[in-house]
Structure 1
Amino acid sequence: MNRHQFLAGLHEAVRPRTYLETGVQTGQSLQLSRVPSIGIDPAFTINREIQADVHLARTTSDEFFAREDPLAHLPIPIVDLAFIDGMHLAEYALRDFIAVERFTTPASVMLFDDTLPLNVLMANRKRESGSWTGDVYKATQALRDLRPDLVVIDLDTALTGTTLVLCPDASRGGALEGYDDWVESAITPDPQPVPEAILGRTNALDPERVLASAGWRNLVELRSAGRADAAAIRAGFSDVLG
C-alpha cells in the first residue's frame, strides 16, 4: 500500500468534514478530497481534476498560517484531516504540525509523508537522490519525545513511509515547549545520523491493519456526539497500539 492509497483509506475511515494539506504539487493527494479543503504550496502545478471546494494558497505554510484567519474558506474553523507533505526538512514539517494543531479537536487526524527513508542518502537535507525524504523523520521523533500525549504511529507505506498522529491538542495554542533546543540539536550537516530503527522500519505498522482498526468508527462516533477526548480515542485504537 502506498501513501495515496492509505490517505484514500483515511478519507473513508475518518469521514472528515474538512481537509488541509501542505505540499500540493500536482494534486495527486488533493484529488482524494470530497469536502471543503485547503491546499498550501508556493509552486503547485495541478494537472488533474479536483472534485472538492478548495482554497489553493500559492504561498509557504509559514506565511499562510500567519494570516489573521487562515481557515476562512472552511465552513468550520477545524481541520479534521491533514496531510503534511511540504518542505522535506524536519523543522518545516514540525512547524506545519504545530500550526495545524491550533485548528484541531482530539478527533482530528494528521499524516506526515516521507518519514521512513530507505537509506542515508535519501535522508540528506540537501537533495542528492531521485526519491528524497529529507530528515522529516526527525520531526515525528520530536513529537514522541516532546509530546508524549500524542499517538504517533509509523506506517510501512511504499515507498518512503508515513506517520500517523492522533489526539492533537489545540489548547496548546501553537506552542511546543522545547522546540528551540530541539532545532539546535536536530539540524546537523549531511550525512544525517539516521537511526537503524528508521532505516529498517522496525516499529512501522502494516497500514492495512491500521485502517482496519475499530478505532476509526469510535473516533467518528465520538466526534459526532461532541464527546471526543484523547483518552477515549486512544482507547479505541487498543487493537493496534496494544
Structure 2
Amino acid sequence: MRRHEFLQAMHELTRPRTYVETGVHYGESLTLSRVPSIGIDPDFSIRRELLGDMQLARTTSDEFFARARPLAHLPTTVIDLAFIDGMHLAEYALRDYLALERFTAATSVVVFDDMLPRSIDEAARHRHTGPWTGDIYKAAQALRDFCPELIVLEVDTTPTGLVVVLAPDASRGGVLPQYDAWLDVALEPDPQRVPDEVLRRTRALDPERLLASPGWRQLPMLRRRRRGVDRAAVRAAFADVVG
C-alpha cells in the first residue's frame, strides 16, 4: 500500500473534524482532506485541486506555531488528524510533533511520513540521492524513549514508510525536557548509523492489518464523550495492534 492510500484511509476511518499538515509541497496529501484544514510550508507549489476549507500558510512550522492563535482558521482548537511531512531532519520533525501535540486530544492521530529509509544513503542528513528520507526516523525513537505513554507504530507503506502516533499528550505543552540532550546525541555526521530494525522494517506493521483494527471505529465514538476520554481508553481500543 502506498502512503497516500493509507492517509486517505486515515481520513475515512478517523472522520476528523480538523486536519493540519506540515510540508505541503505540491498538495498531493492536502487534497485528501474534506474538513477545515491548515497546510504549512514556506515554499509550496500547489498542483492539485484542494476541495476543502483550506488555509495555506507560506511559512515555517516553527514560525507558524509561535503565533498567538495559530489555529484561528479551524472551528475548534483540537487537531483530530495531522500529517508531518516537512523538513527531513530529525530535529525539525520532532519539533513539528511537539508543536502539534499542544492542540491534540487523546483521540487525535499524528502521522509522520518517510520514516523507514531503505538505505543509509537515503537516510543521510545531506541529500545526495533522488528519493530521500533524511534522518527523521530518529524522531520516532525519541518519542519511544522519552514519551512511553504514547503509542508509536511503524507502518510498512511504500515507498518509505510511515509512523502513526496515537494517544498524544497535550499536557506536555510542546516541551520535551530531554530535547537538547537528545540533539547532542542524535545529530551525528553522515553516514548515519541506521538501526537494522528500521532498514529491515522488522517492527513495522502491515498497513492493511493496522487499518483493520477495530480501534478506528471506536475513535469517533470516544471523541464524542462529553467528559472526554483518557489515553488508556485509546490504548485499549487498539489492543490488537499495540500488544
The TM-score normalised by the length of structure 2 is: 0.98
User: 1:124-163 to 2 correspondence within 5 Å?
Assistant: 124-163=124-163
Q: Aligned residue for 1:72?
A: 72
Distance 1:63 1:241 in 2: 35
Q: Aligned residue for 2:239?
A: 238
Q: Aligned residue for 1:14?
A: 14
Shift of 1:228: 2.0
Deviations 1:178-234 (A, max 9, x none): 111001110010000000000000000001111110001111111012332100000
Distance 2:209 2:23 in 1: 27
Count of matched residue positions in the alignment of Structure 1 and Structure 2: 242
Shift of 1:177: 2.0
Shift of 1:48: 1.1
Which aligned segments of 4 or more residues in structure 1 are displaced greater than 3 angstroms? none
Q: Aligned residue for 2:117?
A: 117
Of 220-229 and 152-161, deviating more is: 220-229
Shift of 1:164: 0.3
Distance 2:197 2:157 in 1: 15
Letter of the 1:78 counterpart: V
Letter of the 2:11 counterpart: H
Letter of the 2:238 counterpart: F
Distance 1:219 1:212 in 2: 13
Distance 1:175 1:45 in 2: 32
Q: What is the root-mean-square deviation of aligned Cα atoms in Å?
A: 0.6
Q: Aligned residue for 1:39?
A: 39
Q: Aligned residue for 2:188?
A: 188
Deviations 1:98-139 (A, max 9, x none): 000000000000000000000000000001111000000000
Note if contact 1:219-1:228 (Cα within 8 Å) is conserved in structure 2: no
Letter of the 1:20 counterpart: V
User: 1:85-96 to 2 correspondence within 5 Å?
Assistant: 85-96=85-96
For structure 1, the 5+ residue unaligned runs are none
Distance 1:48 1:163 in 2: 25
For structure 2, the 5+ residue unaligned runs are none
Distance 1:241 1:150 in 2: 11
Distance 1:161 1:33 in 2: 20
Note if contact 1:24-1:40 (Cα within 8 Å) is conserved in structure 2: yes
